[in-house]
Amino acid sequence: MAFRTEKEAIRVRYLLGDLSEQERVDIEESYFADDNSFQELEVIEDELVDAYVHGELAGADQQQFEKLLQSSARLAGRVQFARILANRVGSMSPTPETDAVVPAVATERPARSKDTQTWWQKIFGVPQAGRKFAFAGSAVTVLMAAALLFAWMQLRGSSQRLERERAALQQQREGLNAQSSEQNSKINQLAADLERERNLRAEDQKLIESLRNDSANETASPSRSIAFLFLPSATTRGASGTGGTVTLRPGQSIVRLSLLLPADEYKSYEATITNQDKQPILSRKGLRSRRIGSDSQITFQFSAASFSSGDYFVSVSDASGLETIVGYGFRLVRAR
Amino acid sequence: MREEVQPKEKLITPAMDSPLHVKKEHWALTQTAFDNLLRRFASNRDEAAKQYESLRRKLVRFFEWRALDVPEECADETIDRVARRLEEGTEIENVAAYSYGVARKVFRERIRRRETTVVELENAREVPAPTVTEDPELDERFHCFDRCLSNLPEDKRTLIIDYYQDEKRAKIDLRNQLAEKLSIPLNALRIRVHRIRINLESCVNQCLKLKE
């Protein structure tokens, strides 16, 4: 596909998603500031779609375009429209007024002097009376052959175009099949993860049961080393408040903290515990959420050796630590 | 009396008593906020509506060209945020440039969300491969196209037919001649044809919707 200026070629690359971020921003700033620039870009999109439909895109551009086509319903609609336009308008005769325009091309050619011989006169010389019929016959034959050749070339062109379209469709189909199998393998992987999570949950459940039993016999075995705290109700962003209390009995040094998430939008999270003076005491990164029924929660445990009795605040942020998602307050009490 | 122009495709919630006290994630565009936004475009409401439509179109294209799958939703989210800033009293000198900045932010957020989206395991199903099939509506498309083309004014119909006669003649030569004939530069011709094409395309799409 040949574009008139370098600027247009860059815009084609923009539409194909083929530019650096800075180059994209330059073009976008320009079309947000200027309606003409935006309209030019839309015109170039028309021409890009037409070039694709006529099989005029270079290999890499065609592939890139087809990639976009798979993800954009609007673009697919535009391609469909361009095919109909090419089919319908291409099969219509140009208006007589345009026919009148066309001879102007012929007049631009250098005028031939009247006494200049035509190419067949050069070959055969000036035709004599006896040759006239034979020559006329030959001329008709040549014209018919030319017409046949022209028709054959037209057919060949159409057939090649159809072949290109068929190949593009085949490629598209293969791409979609590949996507589908990739998706299926992802699902299998996720199903395996789910199974693993279920097993872990079952183990946790057993552990909780066992701890409950231990708790019932607290006097008999007062020195379990882990204390549990579940903070079910997440407070709104940045807010604080006491959501629960964990009591550390003598000998207990580990706290296992489970936090219910209001929404599960990230792959991993960071949790930070701060004291009343907002001094960070502990931070855990790379925490992954677990789904329990329709809820998601993150769980981690920490040594409470350096924690004195008092109120604490846990903030949960995304993996980068930049956006705080939710906060929980809790109270830690050391039993004597 | 002339009817007031209401820009298309924008859903506005009934006015709220105190939108400023609504949490960020629950903020919704009110009629007052929208009117405020329109006033920033132009004092004449028709002109303002035109500029609003132009900005929205640019936003939709921006998200499409950046390959997001819900461009219209993203464009509306951008407009909502700009309207909210205006309502909060933020000084915005150039609404288009400011909207572009907000659109980039929305884009980054959507990309981040897309990357972290987890397939709902409980509802996971095997995804059947989409198949490319023959278009069963081809005849209807042709029918709609012919009808829309015949409904175009004569001069526009002639122009678009002549412009796309590329299979039969040298495309560039013909288009240059058309531009000369109309006494306009080639670029102006391209834009003129583009506008006719957009109208034709929209007419065909509407015709197909009616047939559904």
Average pLDDT of chain A, as a whole number: 77
3-state secondary structure (DSSP) of residue A311: strand
Q: Choose among B36, B165, B121: nearest CA to A291.
A: B121
Neighbour count for residue A216 (Cβ, 10 Å): 9
A274's CB contacts (< 8 A; 6+ apart) are A280, A281, A312, A313, A315
Higher pLDDT, B49 or B125: B49
Spell out which residues of chain B touch residue A46, defining contact as CB-CB under 8 Å. Answer: 194, 197
Range among A212-221, A300-309, B91-100 with highest mean pLDDT value: B91-100
User: Which residue of A71, A177, A187 is in closest CB contact with B129?
Assistant: A177
User: Which residue of A14, A84, A94 is in closest CB contact with B141?
Assistant: A84
Q: What is the dihedral of CA A154, A69, B188, B193, to 10 degrees?
A: 60
Q: Rounded CA gap, A95 and A24, in Å?
A: 41
Q: Please, are residues B49 and B6 in contact by the beta-carbon 8 Å criterion?
A: yes
Q: Which amino acid is at A318?
A: D
Look up residue A92 and give its two tokens.
Answer: 């219509």
Q: What is the mean predicted confidence (pLDDT) over B85-102? A: 90
Q: Choose among A40, A14, A31, A15: nearest CA to B55.
A: A31
Look up residue A272 and give its two tokens.
Answer: 């930070």
* Substitution target from A5, A64, A87, A101 for chain B, most B beta carbons within 10 A: A101
Question: How many beta-carbon contacts under 8 Å exist across A and B?
Answer: 146
**What is the percent of chain A where pLDDT is above 70?**
76
Is B26's pLDDT higher than 80? no
pLDDT confidence of residue B13:
43
- Predicted complex ipTM exceeds 0.90: no
Taking CB atoms and an 8 Å limit, are B194 and A42 in contact across chains? yes
Residue for token digits 């199974």?
A195
Q: Choose among A172, A44, A14: nearest CA to B64.
A: A14
Q: How confident is the model at residue A114 (pLDDT cuts 50, 70, 90)?
A: very low
Kindly identify which residue of chain A lies nearest to residue B138, measuring between CA atoms: A84
CA angle B196, B198, B200 (to 5 degrees): 70
Q: How confident is the model at residue A235 (pLDDT cuts 50, 70, 90)?
A: very low
Spell out which residues of chain A touch residue B64, defining contact as CB-CB under 8 Å. Answer: 72, 74-75
Kindly identify which residue of chain A lies nearest to residue B59, measuring between CA atoms: A32
Over the stretch A3-21, which tens digit does the pLDDT of each residue have? 568 888 899 999 999 899 9
Is A108's pLDDT higher than 50? no
Is A118's pLDDT higher than 50? no
Taking CB atoms and an 8 Å limit, are B177 and A101 in contact across chains? yes
User: Which residue of A46, A179, A187 is in closest CB contact with B126?
Assistant: A187
Is A105's pLDDT higher than 80? no
